[in-house]
């Protein structure tokens, strides 16, 4: 075995997928340890303080994941050591309480603009960047990513509550982003939506999450109709300023496949009927908490040709006759009703619905 060179060992390792097996491989000798490190493409970091110790062994990484607190110097080191990175997953699983406890007790500062900007500069091949709940990430970091990472296709900024319209302006100039998450980025306004609708990104964006962006109104939502290839849109809990005016604009997005309008309390049957008639490719719609929606609107999906998933939780103005019409939709696979209605819908009717699709209660 001593006659095998690095190239031959690399070819062998291409067929070793189990991480425990790779670990055993690396423990054979120094050469095998070195080759395993050079061929490793993914890593998940649990203890960021050890990054300077182990990371230099993996210069060809393409995927880097750390869902724990990590500092700017840590990521600056990553940028220098692993310039080929394509996927960066820093989505944080910690709660707000854990954030506050960290700040008060340890003085540790979680990653922010400096660390992300260093990665944008050092890893220009980044295509997927996930930064959910990184509360220190602000406009400068996002602008750096948008300008320097020309291959960026997915950007998750969910709950990065320092991000505002200035960052959106930079994102709007991208001609590669297809998936964009602004969940709970409450500083984003109608101006930001107008930028997305008129910038280069409007030609490539397929999925847009704006849930809990409560400063946007009908004016901004109406601009989204110019995003020509949008397939998924989430406007859940965006507040009372979105009405049927915005809803009708959304219905003109004929490319839509998934739509979440949960808790938009000022949307009515007018919007639902328009969506049922115009969004012919629609596969999933969530109307949770749309209290103005009645059976009149829901019945419009009875003849829809592609709808598979319909959510009507916390929708109380729907009767048995409405449901019997909805389930005529031949493509329907799942329907979600409010659990409070369960006792009011006779068991024979529940059995009847179940013959056509899966009935769920929420």
pLDDT at 93: 86
Q: What is the torsional sign of CA 146, 151, 153, 157? A: negative
Query: What is the reported pTM?
Result: 0.91
Q: Is residue 30 included in any domain, yes or no?
A: yes
- Residue 12, domain member (yes or no): yes
How far is it, in rounded angstroms, from Cα 262 to Cα 264? 6
Question: What pLDDT sits at residue 104?
Answer: 56
Mean pLDDT by 10 residues, the chain (362 residues): 61 69 65 70 94 94 96 97 98 71 67 97 98 97 97 98 98 97 98 98 98 98 97 98 98 98 98 98 98 97 97 94 94 96 90 94 95
Write down the mean pLDDT value for the chain: 92
Can you give the pLDDT at residue 127?
Answer: 98
Is 300 part of any domain? no
Q: Which residues contact 309 (CB under 8 A, 6 or more apart)?
A: 283, 284, 285, 332, 333, 334, 335
Distances (CA, A) of 140 to 37, 121, 137, 251: 33, 12, 8, 35
Q: Is residue 268 part of a domain?
A: no
- Report in angstroms the alpha-carbon separations of 270 from 224, 298, 357, 361: 18, 10, 26, 26
- Please report whether residue 333 resides in a domain: no
Q: What domain range includes position 18?
A: 1-39
Query: Quick one: DSSP state of residue 345?
Result: S
- pLDDT of 315-331, one tens digit each? 999 999 999 999 999 99
pLDDT 10s digits, 259-315: 999 999 999 999 999 999 999 999 999 999 999 999 999 999 999 999 999 999 999
pLDDT tens profile 238-256: 999 999 999 999 999 999 9
Residue 71 in any domain: the answer is no
Per the domain annotation, does 22 fall within a domain?
yes
Please tell me the predicted confidence (pLDDT) of residue 95. 64
Residue 105's pLDDT is what? 56
- Inside any domain, residue 11: yes
Counting residues of the chain whose pLDDT is more than 90, the rounded percentage is 81
Query: In the prediction, which pLDDT does 1 show?
Result: 46
- Confidence at residue 206, expressed as pLDDT on a 0 to 100 scale: 98
Residue 14 sits in a domain of what CATH number?
1.20.1280.50
Domain total in the chain: 1
- pLDDT score of 108: 75
């Amino acid at each position: 075995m001593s006659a095998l060179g690095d190239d031959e060992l690399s070819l062998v390792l291409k067929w070793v997928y189990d991480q425990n097996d790779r670990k055993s491989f690396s423990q054979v000798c120094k050469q095998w340890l070195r080759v395993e490190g050079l061929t490793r493409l993914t890593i998940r970091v649990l203890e960021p303080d050890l990054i300077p110790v182990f990371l230099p062994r993996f210069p060809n990484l393409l995927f880097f994941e750390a869902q724990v607190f990590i500092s700017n110097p840590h990521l600056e080191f990553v940028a220098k050591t692993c310039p080929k990175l394509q996927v960066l997953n820093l989505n944080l699983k910690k709660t707000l309480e854990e954030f506050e406890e960290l700040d008060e007790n340890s003085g540790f500062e979680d990653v922010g603009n400096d660390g992300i900007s260093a990665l944008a500069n050092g890893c220009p091949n980044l295509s997927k960047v996930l930064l959910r709940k990184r509360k220190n990430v602000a406009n400068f970091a996002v602008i750096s990513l948008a300008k320097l990472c020309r291959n960026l296709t997915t950007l998750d900024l969910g709950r990065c509550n320092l991000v505002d319209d200035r960052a959106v302006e930079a994102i709007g100039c991208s001609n590669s982003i297809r998936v964009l998450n602004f969940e709970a980025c409450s500083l984003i306004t109608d101006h930001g939506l107008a930028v997305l609708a008129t910038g280069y990104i409007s030609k490539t964006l397929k999925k847009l999450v704006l849930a809990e962006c409560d400063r946007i109104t009908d004016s901004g939502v109406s601009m989204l109709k110019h995003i020509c290839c949008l397939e998924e849109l989430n406007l859940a809990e965006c507040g009372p300023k979105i009405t049927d005016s915005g809803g009708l604009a959304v219905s003109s997005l004929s490319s839509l496949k998934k739509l979440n309008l949960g808790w938009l309390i000022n949307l009515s049957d007018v919007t639902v009927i328009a969506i049922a008639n115009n969004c012919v490719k629609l596969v999933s719609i969530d109307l949770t908490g749309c209290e103005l929606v009645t059976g009149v609107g829901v019945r419009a999906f009875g003849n829809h040709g592609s709808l598979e998933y319909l959510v009507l939780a916390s929708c109380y103005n729907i009767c048995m006759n409405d449901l019997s019409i909805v389930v005529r939709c031949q493509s329907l696979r799942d329907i979600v009703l409010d659990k409070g209605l369960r006792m009011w819908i006779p068991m024979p009717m529940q059995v009847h619905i179940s013959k056509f699709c899966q009935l769920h209660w929420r």
